[in-house]
């Protein structure tokens, strides 16, 4: 994803007041908001950060905008390829470029409403750059409709456009998973399921499933504590969500607490804990003395908020887990969860911006950081204690190869279990390696 110069990159605090001429419930407004979000992502920010601009929007507008923004980024390679064929020269106005991507996505996924989409996209273009690109937007979209069959036929000749992943990413997947790479790609391009983790301190998963059924949200049991909804719903619709009965967490992520499985009363470190899902799951399973660290102060607040909602308690600190001398008091841990920074290549269906923000060189940098964290945390573990290394990556350099190298460096480390979860319908992609320190 290239960085595009824009004179309007700031996020308005209350866009509805800034642009009163577009009704807040119109498609044009959702297209305009989605264009602003996509432009922010194209400028290098994460989708999570960009979506903060929707905080003051009405629920319906927020939902419609998110649907378009996620869709554009899932199909970003496709959209860029199509625009490259339709534009005579690069369009340097970032938000108008993103508006065209949003409108193309909507045209392709809502073919029954093409006239409305074109009309509303042109109206939205009138709110950008003084409206100078209205004619361009109208012409590009109408040309797409006229040339659609030929353009779609050309898409299949371009790997990045057809597979919706960067070429370097596809090359790595083919090398690592010659039989499964295409299934991984297809899953990454799909919409994820909504999976819940039931707070077993409060009730059993089967009992919460019955409450969901009564509320009109059927779900099926999944794993030890999980439920997968047949259809995603807002968290407001989940019975007892704000009372701490349930959390939203992918089934693959739930494996972390199940694999580490510390004994009651254990002293546990969650070294890279934000936003706190795995921390909470550990505490839901048994009574622990738990220290949760994260380097980002705003993200540690998320940990505290999650624990408060669930009625759980832990010590939460802002700290770089690898800078041990700045936070460690010398007391050894019975168990450590090292959910390390990684490429997040296993969770791209939830975070489609990752495919286009990552660079191939990032994999080496992540691997170096992971090795530093592992080497820093290992001395903090009691003899006989367990460390669970975790990533949400599918790239071997961050996973199996990382652990192989660690075991060469640390001769008192024993590998008890490894698990590479590839992205599937029921879960995202995760890697786990459970290690034990020699007694």
- Of the residues 162, 185, 201, the one at which a domain ends: 162
Predicted confidence at residue 13, as pLDDT, reads 34
Sorted by sequence, the CB contacts under 8 Å of residue 197 that are 6+ apart come out as: 225, 226, 246, 247, 248, 249, 254, 277, 281, 284
135-169 burial: b if 16+ Cβ within 10 Å, else e:
ebbeebbeebeeeeeebeeeeeebebbbbbbbeeb
CB 256 within 8 A of CB 278: yes
User: Is there a domain that residue 401 lies in?
Assistant: yes
Predicted confidence at residue 20, as pLDDT, reads 46
User: Is there a domain that residue 1 lies in?
Assistant: no
Q: Nearest Cα to 271, choosing from 381, 363, 166? A: 381
- Same-domain pairing of 245 and 266: no
Q: Nearest Cα to 140, choosing from 99, 93, 95? A: 99
- Same-domain pairing of 139 and 273: no
- Same-domain pairing of 411 and 267: yes
Give yes or no: 342 in active site.
no
CB 270 within 8 A of CB 282: yes
Q: What is the pLDDT along the chain (439 residues), one digit of tens a residue?
A: 533 333 233 333 333 334 447 899 999 999 999 999 999 999 999 999 999 999 999 999 999 999 999 999 999 999 999 999 999 999 999 999 999 999 999 999 998 999 999 999 999 999 999 999 999 999 999 999 999 999 999 999 999 999 999 999 999 999 999 999 999 999 999 999 999 999 999 999 999 999 999 999 999 999 999 999 999 999 999 999 999 999 999 999 999 999 999 999 999 999 999 999 999 999 999 999 999 999 999 999 999 999 999 999 999 999 999 999 999 999 999 999 999 999 999 999 999 999 999 999 999 999 999 999 999 999 999 999 999 999 999 999 999 999 999 999 999 999 999 999 999 999 999 999 999 999 9
User: Is there a domain that residue 34 lies in?
Assistant: yes
- Same-domain pairing of 345 and 282: yes
Q: Which residue range(s) make up the domain with 236? A: 193-249
- Same-domain pairing of 244 and 154: no
3-state SS, one letter per residue, for the chain: CCCCCCCCCCCCCCHHHHCCCCCCCCHHHHHHHHHHHHHHHHCCCCHHHHHHHHCCCCHHHHHHHHHHHHHHHHCHHHHHHHHHHHCCCCCCCHHHHHHHHHHHHHHHHCHHHHHHHHHHHHHHHCCCHHHCCHHHHHHHHHHHHHHHHHHHHHHCCCHHHHHCCCHHHHHHHHHHCCCCHHHHHHHHCCCCCCEEEECCCCCCHHHHHHHHHHCCCCEEEECCCEEEECCCCCHHHCCCCCCCCEEECCCCCCHHHHHHCCCCCCEEEECCCCCCHHHHHHHHHCCCEEEEEECCHHHHHHHHHHHHHHCCCCEEEECCCCCHHHCCCCCCEEEEEEECCCCCCCCCCCCCHHHHHCCCHHHHHHHHHHHHHHHHHHHHEEEEEEEEEEECCCCHHHCHHHHHHHHHHCCCEEEEEEEEECCCCCCCCEEEEEEEECC
Predicted confidence at residue 1, as pLDDT, reads 59
- Of the residues 249, 274, 293, the one at which a domain ends: 249
User: Is there a domain that residue 59 lies in?
Assistant: yes
Kindly report the CATH number assigned to the domain that includes residue 94. Answer: 1.10.940.10
User: Is there a domain that residue 2 lies in?
Assistant: no
Kindly report the CATH number assigned to the domain that includes residue 225. Answer: 3.30.70.1170
How many domains, in total, are found in the chain? 3
- What is the rounded radius of gyration, in angstroms, for the C-alpha atoms of the chain? 23
Q: Can you tell me the distance from the alpha carbon of 294 to that of 276, in angstroms, rounded to the nearest whole number? A: 10
Q: Nearest Cα to 374, choosing from 396, 348, 405? A: 405
- Same-domain pairing of 95 and 227: no
Q: Which of 272, 321, 342, 392 is catalytic?
A: 392
CB 387 within 8 A of CB 340: no
User: Is there a domain that residue 99 lies in?
Assistant: yes
Q: Nearest Cα to 284, choosing from 315, 252, 317, 261? A: 261
- Of the residues 226, 249, 272, the one at which a domain ends: 249
Kindly report the CATH number assigned to the domain that includes residue 388. Answer: 3.40.50.150
- Same-domain pairing of 81 and 131: yes
- Same-domain pairing of 291 and 406: yes
- Same-domain pairing of 356 and 431: yes
Q: Nearest Cα to 413, choosing from 386, 380, 373? A: 386
User: Is there a domain that residue 174 lies in?
Assistant: no
- Same-domain pairing of 283 and 421: yes
- Same-domain pairing of 269 and 242: no
| First-last CA distance in the chain | 49
Token digits for 55?
């905080």
- Same-domain pairing of 278 and 419: yes
User: Is there a domain that residue 293 lies in?
Assistant: yes
Token digits for 233?
């719903």
Give the largest Cα separation in the chain, rounded.
Answer: 73
Q: Can you tell me the distance from the alpha carbon of 253 to that of 270, in angstroms, rounded to the nearest whole number? A: 14
CB 375 within 8 A of CB 409: yes
């Amino acid at each position: 994803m290239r960085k595009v110069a824009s004179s309007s990159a700031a996020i308005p605090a209350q866009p509805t007041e800034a642009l009163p001429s577009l009704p807040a419930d119109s498609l044009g407004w959702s297209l305009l908001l989605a264009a602003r979000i996509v432009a922010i992502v194209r400028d290098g920010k994460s989708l999570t950060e960009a979506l903060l601009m929707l905080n003051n929007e009405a629920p319906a507008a927020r939902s419609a905008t998110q649907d378009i923004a996620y869709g554009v980024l899932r199909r970003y390679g496709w959209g860029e390829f199509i625009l490259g064929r339709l534009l005579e020269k690069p369009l340097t106005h970032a938000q108008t470029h993103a508006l065209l991507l949003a409108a193309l996505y909507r045209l392709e996924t809502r073919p029954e409403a093409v006239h409305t989409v074109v009309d509303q996209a042109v109206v939205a273009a009138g709110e950008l750059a003084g409206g100078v690109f209205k004619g361009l937007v109208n012409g590009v979209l109408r040309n797409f409709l006229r040339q659609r069959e030929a353009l779609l036929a050309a898409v299949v000749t371009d790997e990045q456009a057809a597979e919706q992943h960067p070429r370097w990413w596809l090359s790595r997947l083919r090398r690592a998973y010659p039989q499964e790479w295409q299934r991984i790609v297809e899953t990454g391009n799909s919409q994820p399921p909504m999976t819940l983790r039931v707070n077993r301190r409060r009730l059993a998963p089967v009992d919460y499933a019955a409450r969901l059924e009564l509320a009109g949200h059927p779900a099926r049991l999944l794993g030890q504590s999980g439920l997968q909804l047949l259809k995603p719903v807002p968290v407001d619709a989940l019975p007892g969500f704000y009372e701490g009965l349930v959390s939203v967490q992918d089934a693959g992520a739930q494996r972390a607490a199940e694999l580490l499985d510390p004994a009651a009363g254990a002293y546990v470190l969650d070294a890279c804990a934000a936003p706190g899902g795995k921390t909470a799951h550990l505490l839901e399973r048994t009574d622990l003395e738990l220290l949760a660290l994260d380097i980002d102060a705003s993200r540690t607040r998320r940990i505290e908020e999650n624990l408060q909602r669930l009625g759980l308690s832990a010590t939460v600190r802002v700290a770089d887990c690898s800078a041990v001398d700045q936070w460690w008091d010398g007391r050894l841990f019975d168990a450590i969860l090292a959910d390390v920074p990684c490429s997040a290549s296993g969770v791209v269906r939830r975070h489609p911006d990752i495919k286009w923000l990552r660079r191939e060189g990032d994999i080496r940098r992540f691997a170096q950081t992971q090795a530093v964290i592992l080497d820093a945390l290992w001395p903090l573990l009691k003899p006989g204690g367990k460390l669970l290394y975790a990533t949400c990556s599918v790239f071997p350099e961050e996973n199996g190869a990382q652990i192989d190298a660690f075991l060469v460096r640390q001769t008192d480390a024993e590998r008890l279990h490894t698990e590479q979860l590839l992205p599937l319908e029921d879960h995202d992609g995760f890697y786990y390696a459970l290690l034990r320190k020699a007694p």
